[in-house]
Amino acid sequence: MGFQIQVKYYNTYVLKRLAVSSIQDRNWYIEEARIRGGYNNVQTGLSPRAFLVSENNAQETLSNSIIYSGIFNSRTGINQSNQFPSGQDITRTVDPSKGSIQKLYAEDTNLTIFQERKVNRALIDKDAIYTQEGVPVQTTSNVVIGAITPYAGEFGISTNPESFAVYGYRKYFTDATQGSVLRLSQDGLTEISNYGMYDFFRDQLGSLSSGKAIGGYDIHNKCYTLSLQPASAAIASEILSFDENIKGWTSRYSYLPSNMFSIQNNFYSTTTSDEKANNPSVTIGDIYEHYSTNVNRANFYKTQYVSQVKSVFNANPSLVKTFQTINYEGAPNWSMTSFVTNEDQANSVDVFSMPLTLADMENSLLKNEFKQKEDKYFANLVNTSAFTQGEVVFGKSISGVKGFFATVLLEATNTAVSGTNELFAISTNYKESSY
């Protein structure tokens, strides 16, 4: 039985219903008679059009090329973003020997193109002409993507576009192939992994293989945070941050994110399946706000960690020294967990406590804890190493720890939100060893 449906639009076809319950439910697909037919126009123009038939219509992947479509004019409402005229020069190609294009980043009228082994800059809505001396001069043009110019340096982003992060005019990323962490700024490419961490990143990025290098900019602390997550479970993951103010890698962290980003002066990260394995109460993909005042310090993804600071004393590295004391400037809630040299180790030192009575003062003399003097905390280093042959006085009776260099580890005992764990400096007093 035939039926009739009245529609309120011109230039349309009724194709089929969404449901078959009834004719009156009006759940019908309604589309234009043809592409660009003029939706809701009062007439349809079927003028002749030219079509280009491609003999090779198979899917083709061009890993080194960029193509752009027509534009969407918000003022007139004309949308040509679905048009790719093959008769026009709308394709740009980069050097195929530098690997595939991994990431594009648009900034003002510039387009940064990251290949596996190269970083390029392309002009948008402008082009470059060159003087007789070869100096490029930018000029306005109707070309959507203009000249492509590579940056100096054989660096790229490898296959880790997830390492990219940007703040202001600075862009950060990793090159696992070269074992480098890089910054792209107004002065070009800079290896920030060379700021005291060259060997570390050479080894870590070399073993990354098919793993991930997740980067994000911490707007709260103004630093680039990088999480290295190898595919092999036998290699430990690392996460650390780079501070532009001191040109160095300042901190390591204990959490394992799947993504990191900053919004409105807050820094966020999302959880991974590895974090859920550590804590079943964690949901995969949860968004975690860092530096929140609702949780204790050093608490990540519902797991409480201990804040630690490790320092190395290596003055006069060729001289055998006897380290006598450990000193620090900061809050009174720091304890020394270990003090180790290449030969000896010291007993741990507890946090500072203020004696309030005479008995407390007498007992504090017997405690191996920090003492306060002129707003600085210090403690003697008591050797706990076993005696060696030839020593006159040995073991715990020895005051001081011998060695060429020493490594000290301090821990903060106060994790409350209201508390402070400030630590400004760590030092030691030593003398030339008599042995």
Instruction: Tell me: do 20 and 32 sit in the same domain.
Output: yes
Q: What is the pLDDT of residue 283?
A: 79
379/273 same-domain check: no
User: How many other C-beta atoms are found inside a 10 Å radius of the C-beta of residue 314?
Assistant: 11
131 plus 182 within the same structural domain: no
- Decide if pLDDT at 390 tops 90: no
Q: Which has the higher per-residue pLDDT, 86 or 341?
A: 341
Count the Cβ atoms, other than its own, within 10 Å of residue 188: 11
Q: How many domains does the chain have?
A: 4
- Express each pLDDT in 345-357 by its tens digit: 888 898 888 777 7
In a domain, 61, yes or no: no
d(CA 119, CA 404): 44
- Determine the pLDDT at residue 343: 84
Sign of CA dihedral 156, 158, 159, 161: negative
228-278 pLDDT per residue, tens: 999 887 888 899 999 999 999 999 988 889 999 999 889 999 988 777 676
pLDDT of residue 395: 46
* Domain assignment of residue 338, yes or no: yes
**Cα(26)–Cα(30) distance, integer angstroms:** 10
- Checking if the pLDDT of 367 tops 50, the result is yes
Q: Is residue 396's pLDDT more than 50?
A: no
Q: Of 240, 273, 304, which residue is a domain's last?
A: 304
For the chain, helix, strand, coil in percent to 5 are 10, 40, 50
On whether residue 294 sits in a domain, the answer given is yes
Are 270 and 257 a contacting pair, CB within 8 Å?
yes
Contact (CB, 8 A) for 282 and 301 = yes
Residue 273, H or E segment: helix 273-278
- Residue whose token pair is 């190269």: 118
Per residue in 195-222, pLDDT tens? 989 999 999 998 888 889 999 999 999 9
Of 190-194, 201-205, 279-283, 291-295, which range is least confident?
279-283
Q: Is residue 251 part of a domain?
A: yes
Helices (H) and strands (E) in the chain, counts: 3, 31
pLDDT for 27:
58
pLDDT digits (tens, 9 = 90+) for 44-81: 565 666 666 666 667 778 889 988 888 788 788 888 88
Task: Indicate whether 300 and 161 sit together in one domain.
Answer: yes
Is residue 387 pLDDT above 70, yes or no?
A: no
Both 287 and 417 in one domain: the answer is no
Residues 177 and 219 placed together within one structural domain of the fold: yes
- pLDDT of 2 higher than 90: no
Same domain, 5 and 129: no
Residue 357 lies inside a defined structural domain of this protein: yes
pLDDT of residue 329 exceeding 60, the answer is yes
Task: Let me know whether 211 and 173 are in one domain.
Answer: yes
- Per-residue model confidence (pLDDT) at position 102: 95
295 and 168 within one domain: yes
Listing DSSP states for 77-96 in one string gives: TEE-TT---TTS--EEE--G
The CA distance from 281 to 304, in Å, is: 13
216 and 125 in one domain? no
Strand partners, 124: 145
Same domain, 274 and 331: no
pLDDT at position 21: 55
Least confident range from 86-90, 103-107, 299-303, 319-323: namely: 86-90
Q: In whole angstroms, give the CA distance from residue 222 to residue 196.
A: 19
Q: Considering 118, 151, 184, which residue would you say is the last residue of a domain?
A: 151
In this prediction, residue 159 carries a pLDDT of 93
What distances in angstroms separate CA 165 from CA 120, 131, 245, 284, one per listed residue? 17, 35, 17, 23
Using one digit for the tens of pLDDT, what is the confidence trace for 14-51? 555 555 555 555 555 555 555 555 555 666 565 666 66
Domain-located, residue 58: no
Entry pTM: 0.73
- List the one residue out of 175, 132, 179 whose CA is nearest residue 151: 175
Rounded CA-CA distance 411/413 in Å is 6
pLDDT higher at 114 or 210: 114
Residue 193, pLDDT score = 94
Whole domain around residue 27: which residue ranges? 1-42
280 & 323 share domain: no
Percent pLDDT > 90 in the chain is 35
Query: Within a domain: residue 67?
Result: no
Of residues 310 and 77, the one with the higher pLDDT is 310
Quote the pLDDT of residue 127: 59
Q: Which of 99, 117, 151 is where one domain is finished?
A: 151
Residue 68 in domain: no
Q: Reply yes or no on whether the pLDDT at 138 is more than 50.
A: yes
Residue 248, CA distances (Å) to 182, 191, 203, 224, 244 in order: 13, 11, 18, 11, 7
